[in-house]
């Protein structure tokens, strides 16, 4: 499961990375080194317009934890932070979004907690930060939805992150990892049209150590109230 990540780029920096429209609502987005479920975060979506070629990429401010359009209570979103890529096309909560509301979740990296070897004395889990070796922004694969309780209310925009079964070469860290969208497939992924599920899955790759790098960070990240650049500073493996 991907349950915490960092996203610290400004809207202008995300525009440089992805080429975006920046609605006024994105001005409220701030650097967040400890994004947790139900928090507001940047989301890149695709729009198509009559007479305009290709896909127009737009930045939105959205809440992490997808609320299906049919939900009676938005609190369900706290349980919908991840969607399994293996079953997303069939699950009622995600299949409509997977069909035509796909997104990018910009991230500096994400956190996973390592419990240590099974035969070692039990220790507190060690958090690792998993990021690009060059610290470039990651494009995590996401889905989004619009929800409101009544026509008089504003739309709530929510999202989820797609995950897959993945480990590092030694089988460590977590058995689930977020999916990345291939750079050459971004527009196809974002285009709000139906595509075969297998075609969509071929646009993704697991965000795991190997193509990415992982290093220990402070256990302070376990408390969502902690938020600052010190959370992603490399540390020796804590004992």
Q: What residues act catalytically?
A: 2, 112
Tokens of 72: 């009676």
Tokens of 74: 């938005």
Could you please report the per-residue DSSP string of 147-209? E-SSTTSPPEEEEEEEEEE---TTS-S-SEEEEEEPGGGHHHHHSSS---HHHHHTTEEE--B
Label residue 99 exposed, middle or buried (CB < 10 Å: 0-12, 13-18, 19+): middle
Rounded (to 5) percent helix, strand, coil in the chain = 20, 35, 45
Cβ(193)–Cβ(199) under 8 Å? no
Residue with tokens 């993945």: 166
CA dist 36 and 33 (Å) reads 10
What 3-state DSSP class applies to 233?
A: coil
Q: Measured in Å, how far apart are the chain's first and last C-alpha atoms? A: 24
Candidates 142, 159, 140; CA nearest to 206 is 140
DSSP at 10: -
């Amino acid at each position: 499961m991907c349950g915490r990540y960092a996203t610290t780029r400004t809207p202008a920096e995300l525009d440089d990375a992805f080429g975006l429209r920046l609605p006024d609502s994105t001005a409220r987005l701030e650097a967040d080194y400890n994004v947790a479920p139900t928090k507001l975060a940047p989301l890149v979506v695709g729009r198509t317009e009559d007479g305009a070629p290709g896909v127009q990429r737009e930045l939105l401010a959205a809440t992490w934890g997808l609320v299906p359009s049919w939900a009676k209570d938005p609190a369900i979103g706290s349980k919908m932070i991840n969607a399994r890529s293996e079953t997303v096309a069939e699950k009622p909560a995600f299949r409509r979004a997977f069909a035509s509301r796909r997104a990018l979740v910009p991230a500096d990296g994400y956190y996973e907690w390592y419990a240590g070897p099974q035969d070692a004395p039990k220790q507190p889990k060690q958090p690792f930060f998993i990021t690009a070796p060059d610290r470039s922004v990651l494009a995590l694969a996401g889905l989004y939805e619009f929800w409101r309780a009544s026509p008089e209310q504003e739309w709530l925009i929510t999202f989820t992150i797609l995950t897959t079964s993945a480990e590092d070469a030694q089988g460590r860290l977590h058995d689930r990892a977020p999916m990345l969208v291939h750079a050459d497939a971004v527009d196809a992924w974002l285009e709000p049209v139906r595509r075969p599920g297998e075609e969509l899955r071929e646009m993704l790759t697991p965000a795991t150590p190997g193509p990415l790098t992982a290093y220990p960070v402070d256990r302070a990240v376990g408390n969502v109230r902690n938020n600052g650049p010190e959370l992603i500073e490399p540390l020796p493996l804590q004992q």
